[in-house]
Amino acid sequence: MTSRRMTGWQGETVRFRFDGRDYEGVRGDTLASALLANGVRAVAASPALGRPRGIYAAWTEEPNALVQVAAEPMLQATTVELRDGLAAHGLSGRGRLTDETDTARYDAVHAHCDVLVVGAGPAGLAAATVAAETGARVIIADDRPIAGGSLPDTAETVGGVPGAEWAAATLDALDGRPDIRVLRRTSVFGYYDDNYLVAVERRGEHAHSRERVWRIRARRVVLATGAHERPIAFAGNDRPGVMLAGSARAYANRHGVLPGDRAVVFTTNDSAYAAARDLAAAGVEIAAIVDTRDTTGGGTDGVEVLAGHVVTAVGGDDGVSSVAVAPSDGGAGREIEADLLLVSGGWSPLVHLFSQSGGDLRFDDGIGSFVPASARQAVEVAGAARGVFTLAGCLEDGAATGARAAEAAGFRVEGTFEIPRTPDEDPGTPPGHLWLVPAADYSTHFVDLQRDVTVADVMRATGAGLRSVEHVKRYTTAGTAHDQGKLSGVLTSAVVGHALGLPLGDLGTTTFRAPYVPVGFATLAGRHRGALHDPVRTTSLHEWHVAYGAPFENVGQWKRPWYYPRAGEDMETAVLRECGAVRKSVGAMDASTLGKIDVQGPDAAEFLDRIYTNMMSTLKVGAIRYGVMCRPDGMVFDDGTVIRLADDRFLVTTTTGNAAAVLDWMEEWLQTEWPGLRVYCTSVTEHWATVALAGPGSRDVLAGLAPGLAVDAASFPFMTWRDTEVAGLAARVCRISFSGELAYEINVNAWDGLALWEAVMETGVVTPYGTETMHVLRAEKGYPIVGQDTDGTVTPADLGMDWVVSKKKPDFIGKRSFARADTSRPDRKHLVGLLPADPGRLLPEGAHLVETSTLPEPPVPTLGHVTSSYRSAVLDSTFALALVSGGRDRMGEVLYVPLGDEQVPVTVTSHILYDPEGARRDG
């Protein structure tokens, strides 16, 4: 294949593969420029219609040339930097995710600055240089591998040297200054509240981190993001070989690549003439310039200019082979042979970030574009991004904007910035405005190339009555592809305007949203993957659980041992064995994760009376009481025990998952409603290690470990605590039970946790049990787990715990709600037990309950759902807890659980299924 590289273009050779074939490019190429240099015109078929598509643009606005590079799907060939060994293939629409783990590292940086400049084109460089001179801390971010914005594309000179050279030197000078940070290959993709901007820096395959996210808080922001050239909708405007004129110019000047041999230029404005001149000089034959205006923008030597003409058709199925042109007033047309059709519908300022910042746009009739109007945040816009399209204008505007931004950030501008000399620019002919070439058939006038949306599709939407561009976008999907409608967005609005006879300025644009460019999930996740995804909390006994092969259950951030399988045991067998050991002998569980809050101060008792539904102030020092907390709406929020340590000091335990929420809850009431109460709350969860010792044999085990402690039931009654020594360790032993058996909770300093546990295990009679066994044992006794058997719609009365709600206290959180009609409805869902008719049948948690043995027509009225379900070592059946409408009035009733095609019969029972008399509590 012949090279389309300009003769004499220098560059180190780079080898790559595309669609299974080997090619060569040069260092500095993008994949797109290298493909064009090798004469590859079609990159992939369009997703919906399967039409061949080529390279349409030269940077992030590319709608067509999607590729997959190794594991990374959906990259734009126009933004992939060529590197040795790169292997890519063209994508028709969606990419493919790999099963392999991405082993690259991704990272994040937080930064603050006085002035953030986005874009290192002429305006951005001038702004950053002026701002830097004032002493302001400046960050300048540019998404390109080399600086200069459009300068490398247009090859204009600045200060007498090629623009790209001037830009590189200017950026290097900034980079050398101590308070200036230059971020290259960095796309600012989101602009959020209070000048918080987020960018992605592409550092390369061999960098310490492949990409990193910058989160930047800036006092002032200067957006110098440039402009995109606009497409025009005409028949066949999607053929490979149709390309934006400025992009073709960029391929020639930036990469030394000629995207075709013979070109027709189709334009509404003068900029395409400059493109034609550069391409002609580079060796492309310009067959004709088709100008929609009657007064043309001059000409270029020896090239025919067809004023007042439009392109009416494009010949060639696999790529442009001819271009049909005709006078726009409908006269006779002709066909011109060409393999390249360059299009320029004018230039649209990149208002994306400005619009994300909350700024308003207005329509500028002169340039036919939306431009920034009033800002909501501390931001200014400079250069082409606000419609200044001359090089000298951009430099001046950038310098003035940089000075304004620095001053607004509190810095003084001293001296003047000398605007570098630029070539004289002819003011030229004002641009024309043409969005679509009128035709009888709009089925190949493409609006969004990636979504295969045509003018005909947009007109179908307006024909169906849609008026808003937001609705048309969603109806047609125009603007919803990877490029987020960079080229198609305003064109869609224009076609809607054409169809409805409304001015474009009145229709407006669709909403601009982050991210401006696609950003990988791996990049956003950064280091927060795998073990670092969320903090992991382990108890001081963790290593023992690991050594004994326990699988772990995640409870909040805690890892809790689930069960301890012996050789050959599955979970069911292990759990039944552990349950049996506690019911018949003695078991031990690591209970360290229970939340613990130290509550102290002269008003601590009064405070707890207000927080809990039951009375806490009457608790004696040395005693323990179970308590329930509700929200003001009367729904259960948490439960646990309260230990009175002194007149003015309590230790409150919470559920494992809710410890932080309960502390927040206490703080909120203390600070916002009861600032007069002298109470101080401190989380002490991790100060203690707690071993629960449960079962009829627990008293003997404790007696052996704590010879100084009188353990008989009279000396150490239920719901009291003692400070003593256990296994030679300072310990606080609480006589409380979550299984109904005689039980103790032994608390020691967290450092001593492992020693205590090992001492308990060395007795040789104690079976370690995990959270699953704990759940089964408590469920047999009907003890609810807040968050499993409750869901924020359950009152203490619904749980059958009227006794925990004080009748004596004048008020507590939730009290007033218990007098609401809603909380005493007879059909409220009550916590009940369920016994399946088939004692071997384990009901799935979450299953619903119905009244009838055959399902009625939908909607099926359900009575409630199963909240907990287990096999039991002591009941002769599986069993479940459930919240059932009017459940306490249904004792003995048979209800049905629909499971697939079956209606599984169950009998409603009390939620307390084992030892309802509480005979086992004292051993």
Q: Using CB under 8 A as the criterion, which residues of the chain lie in contact with other proteins when the complex forms?
A: 192-196, 215, 217, 358, 376, 632-633, 664, 667-668, 671-673, 810-811, 815-817, 819-821
Nearer to other proteins by C-beta: 663 or 880?
663
Helix 469-476 and helix 455-463: axis angle, to 10°?
120
Nearer to other proteins by C-beta: 16 or 512?
512
Nearer to other proteins by C-beta: 193 or 301?
193
What backbone torsions phi and psi does residue 292 show, to the nearest 5 degrees? -70, -15
The upper half-sphere exposure of residue 519, i.e. CA atoms within 13 Å in the direction of its Cβ, equals: 24
Q: Give 50: exposed, middle or buried? Use CB within 10 Å, 0-12, 13-18, 19+.
A: exposed
Q: In the complex, what is the shortest distance from the CB of residue 691 to other proteins, in angstroms, rounded to a whole number?
A: 31
Q: In the complex, what is the shortest distance from the CB of residue 748 to other proteins, in angstroms, rounded to a whole number?
A: 29
Q: In the complex, what is the shortest distance from the CB of residue 607 to other proteins, in angstroms, rounded to a whole number?
A: 14
Query: Taking a C-beta distance cutoff of 8 angstroms, is the pair 221, 380 a contact?
Result: yes
- CA torsion, ordered 691, 692, 693, 699, to nearest 10 deg: 100
Q: In the complex, what is the shortest distance from the CB of residue 193 to other proteins, in angstroms, rounded to a whole number?
A: 5
Q: In the complex, what is the shortest distance from the CB of residue 362 to other proteins, in angstroms, rounded to a whole number?
A: 19
Please give the C-alpha separations between residue 653 and each of 404, 625, 663, 746, in angstroms, as whole numbers: 58, 11, 10, 14
SS (H, E, C) 308-344: CEEEEEEECCCCCCEEEEEECCCCCCEEEECCEEEEE
- Number of neighbouring beta carbons within 10 Å of residue 471: 16
Q: In the complex, what is the shortest distance from the CB of residue 351 to other proteins, in angstroms, rounded to a whole number?
A: 19
CA distance 214 to 116: 12
Q: In the complex, what is the shortest distance from the CB of residue 460 to other proteins, in angstroms, rounded to a whole number?
A: 35
Q: In the complex, what is the shortest distance from the CB of residue 660 to other proteins, in angstroms, rounded to a whole number?
A: 9
Q: In the complex, what is the shortest distance from the CB of residue 753 to other proteins, in angstroms, rounded to a whole number?
A: 28
Query: Taking a C-beta distance cutoff of 8 angstroms, is the pair 141, 188 a contact?
Result: yes
Nearer to other proteins by C-beta: 9 or 196?
196
Q: In the complex, what is the shortest distance from the CB of residue 813 to other proteins, in angstroms, rounded to a whole number?
A: 9
Give the three-class secondary structure for 882: strand
Of 305, 368, 325, 308, nearest to 236 by C-alpha is 325
CA distance 818 to 632: 10
Nearer to other proteins by C-beta: 669 or 718?
669
CA distance 276 to 249: 8
Q: In the complex, what is the shortest distance from the CB of residue 807 to other proteins, in angstroms, rounded to a whole number?
A: 13
Nearer to other proteins by C-beta: 17 or 513?
513
- Number of neighbouring beta carbons within 10 Å of residue 24: 15
Nearer to other proteins by C-beta: 6 or 375?
375
Helix ranges (H only) for 390-548 are 391-408, 455-463, 469-476, 488-500, 504-507, 521-525, 542-547
Nearer to other proteins by C-beta: 195 or 592?
195
CA distance 826 to 834: 20
Nearer to other proteins by C-beta: 105 or 215?
215
Rounded (5°) CA angle 854-855-861: 130
Please give the C-alpha separations between residue 380 and each of 357, 364, 400, in angstroms, as whole numbers: 11, 18, 11
Nearer to other proteins by C-beta: 372 or 387?
372
Q: In the complex, what is the shortest distance from the CB of residue 664 to other proteins, in angstroms, rounded to a whole number?
A: 7
Here the tokens at position 192 are 């959020």
Nearer to other proteins by C-beta: 13 or 672?
672
Here the tokens at position 63 are 């709608």
Query: Taking a C-beta distance cutoff of 8 angstroms, is the pair 560, 593 a contact?
Result: yes
CA distance 701 to 698: 5
Nearer to other proteins by C-beta: 55 or 118?
118
The upper half-sphere exposure of residue 810, i.e. CA atoms within 13 Å in the direction of its Cβ, equals: 1
Q: In the complex, what is the shortest distance from the CB of residue 875 to other proteins, in angstroms, rounded to a whole number?
A: 40
Nearer to other proteins by C-beta: 665 or 870?
665
Q: In the complex, what is the shortest distance from the CB of residue 623 to other proteins, in angstroms, rounded to a whole number?
A: 29
Nearer to other proteins by C-beta: 408 or 761?
408
Adjacency order of strands within the sheet including 334-337: 309-315, 322-327, 334-337
Nearer to other proteins by C-beta: 668 or 902?
668
Q: In the complex, what is the shortest distance from the CB of residue 820 to other proteins, in angstroms, rounded to a whole number?
A: 6
The residue with tokens 């909390």 is 537
Query: Taking a C-beta distance cutoff of 8 angstroms, is the pair 335, 269 a contact?
Result: no
The residue with tokens 């715990």 is 801
